[in-house]
Amino acid sequence: MYRRLLKRFNDQEHSILKEEKRVEEALVVVKQELNLVQTERTHLEYLLKKALGDSSLTTETKVDNDNTLHPNKDLDDSSAINSQSIDLGLLDDLITDVNNLDAESEDEVELVIPTQSY
């Protein structure tokens, strides 16, 4: 009886160790994917900044004494947007990169970690 219990315990311990190793390997893959996504994001942010040039479509804000934010520019003003120097070629490159990234993410295999009951 004790041998059966000991064998069962050892088998379960072995299964747990195998599962732990598999999860650690999956974690390494997830970290690599995260690193790749962060690299792509950095590259896309660089392309966007380059496309926008020195000017930016973001608003700068000031805080008054009453702690209310007031934008310095009105982004709905079409003349303000038209005055931005945007390189359309760089924007096309950015759109192409985003579309390629979307296509790559659709092609990737979904990582599934099944749970095992003990």
Strands of 42-106, DSSP E:
61-63, 69-71
CA distance 113 to 25: 11
Q: Show the domain range for 26.
A: 2-54+86-107
Q: Is residue 66 part of a domain?
A: no
Q: Is residue 67 part of a domain?
A: no
Q: Is residue 112 part of a domain?
A: no
* pLDDT tens per residue, range 42-93: 998 888 888 887 555 544 444 455 545 444 444 455 555 444 555 677 777 7
Q: Is residue 39 part of a domain?
A: yes
* pLDDT tens per residue, range 2-44: 899 999 999 999 999 999 999 999 999 999 999 999 999 999 8
Name the DSSP class of 83: T
Q: Name the one residue in this structure whose structure tokens are 């520019």.
A: 73
3-state SS class at 97: helix
Q: Is residue 40 part of a domain?
A: yes
Q: What is the pTM of this model?
A: 0.42
Q: How many domains, in total, are found in the chain? A: 1
